[in-house]
């Protein structure tokens, strides 16, 4: 079983202690990603004029948007993989059929 990791991260200028089964590097990467999203939103003049609770909702919406886009991309890529797997299986069947035909023709000539 994986050991629990605890690490201090800074998110939005505040320090938090995160713990979990993931590595310290992973927890830092997650915090860095979140800081990037916060910085992206803070660079928008209109965002800075919005009440704090609305800023949090906008941040959550941005994170959910990234999640859904990534999930849709995974589904799209999985579909491509399935199609390629089917094409590969079809080519293998064609190859076997051609090899059998070739072997049959060679027997007839022998």
Q: Please state the pTM of the whole predicted model.
A: 0.74
pLDDT, position 35: 97
pLDDT of amino acid 1: 55
| Tens digit of each residue's pLDDT, the chain (110 residues) | 568 999 999 999 999 999 999 999 999 999 999 999 999 999 999 998 999 999 999 999 999 999 999 999 999 999 999 999 999 999 999 999 999 999 999 888 87
What's the token pair of residue 29?
């990467």
Closest among 33, 35, 42 to 10, alpha carbons compared = 35
The DSSP H or E segment spanning 71 is helix 52-109
């Amino acid at each position: 079983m994986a050991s629990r990791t605890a690490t201090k991260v800074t998110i939005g200028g505040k320090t938090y202690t995160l713990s979990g089964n993931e590595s310290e590097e992973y927890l830092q990467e997650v915090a860095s990603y979140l800081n990037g999203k916060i910085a992206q939103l803070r660079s928008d003049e209109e965002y800075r004029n919005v009440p704090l609770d609305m800023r949090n909702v906008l941040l959550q919406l941005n994170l959910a948007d990234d999640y859904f886009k990534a999930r849709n991309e995974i589904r799209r890529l999985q579909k491509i993989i399935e199609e390629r797997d089917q094409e590969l299986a079809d080519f293998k069947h064609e190859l076997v059929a051609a090899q059998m035909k070739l072997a049959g023709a060679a027997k007839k000539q022998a």
